[in-house]
Amino acid sequence: REMNLWSRLAHPNVLSFLGFCFFKFPNESPAGDPGQLSLISPWMDNGTARQYVQEHPEADRLAITRGVATGLLYLHKNHIIHGDIKSGNVLMTDNGVPVLADFGLATLAEDDSLGLTNEHVTTTTGTSHGTPRWMAPEFFQTDADSQKSTKETDVWAFGCFVLELFTLQVPYATSKSDINAMAAIMQQRLPYECPTDQVPYPFVRHSELWHLCLQCWAFDPPSRITVPDILQYLRN
């Protein structure tokens, strides 16, 4: 299913799908076993967005943020919810362009324009709803079993991605385990805490991006900024 969805996407800020193969592990695949299905994309020497800015301190983080937002807008316009936005799923091309990757948790909004059906898919990178520290608080409510990934949950995770890009820390960095981080989310604590009237030091030169994060982290999902408004905000 991931292959079916991914192969229909074409955008400069979405990792290209090249094809698939069956990979056999030496001495592990029994006779007649075709091997493990593997999806093929271009190789990204620059690694993830976080690795890239660590190795290239001069990188334009605002441009990277804008590129990811542009790719996310493309997905949402095609009624696709990514479901696992984080720096580990943003790869950097040779030209320093960010591309969204890993569509194993992607789902379709009800008004699907690609003619696909929703099936439940998980990856090794997280739960069926994403990676815990990047997950929106509605996934941790009492009726969370019925909670689906939405554009609003993507927006929450996008704010966490921006946080990673500028602080080089994961969300809820002071929580030593994912369990502690999930407890913090249920207590409605923000992914990065500081006094309400202050801007965290990593955002001092880009205070507007800290305020963007806060708009992504509204605990009431309908109150969160939308992706079109994120792009307009970044352009301004």
Integer Cα distance of 91 and 187 in angstroms: 32
DSSP 3-state assignment of 80? strand
Work out the average pLDDT over 181-207: 91
Where are the chain's structural domains? 44-235
Tens digit of each residue's pLDDT (9 = 90 or more) over 69-81: 999 999 999 999 9
Q: What is the pTM of this model?
A: 0.87
CA distance 39 to 21: 7
Rounded Cα distance between 46 and 59, Å, is 12
Which residue from 221, 5, 9 is spatially nearest to 106, judged by alpha carbons? 5
Distance of CA 131 to the CA centre of its chain: 9
- How far apart CA 211 and CA 59 sit, in angstroms, is 21
Domain at 44-235, CATH class: mainly alpha
Catalytic site residue from 33, 45, 84, 178: 84
* Residues above pLDDT 70, as percent of the chain: 88
Distance from the first to the final alpha carbon of the chain: 38
What would the pLDDT profile of 54-111 be if each residue is shown by its tens digit?
Answer: 999 999 999 999 999 999 999 999 999 999 999 999 999 999 999 999 988 888 876 5
**pLDDT tier, 112 (very low <50, low <70, confident <90, very high otherwise):** very low
Q: What is the DSSP string of 152-180?
A: HHHHHHHHHHHHHHHHSS-TTTT-SSHHH
Q: Does 60 participate in catalysis according to the annotation?
A: no
- Strand-pair partners of 22: 37
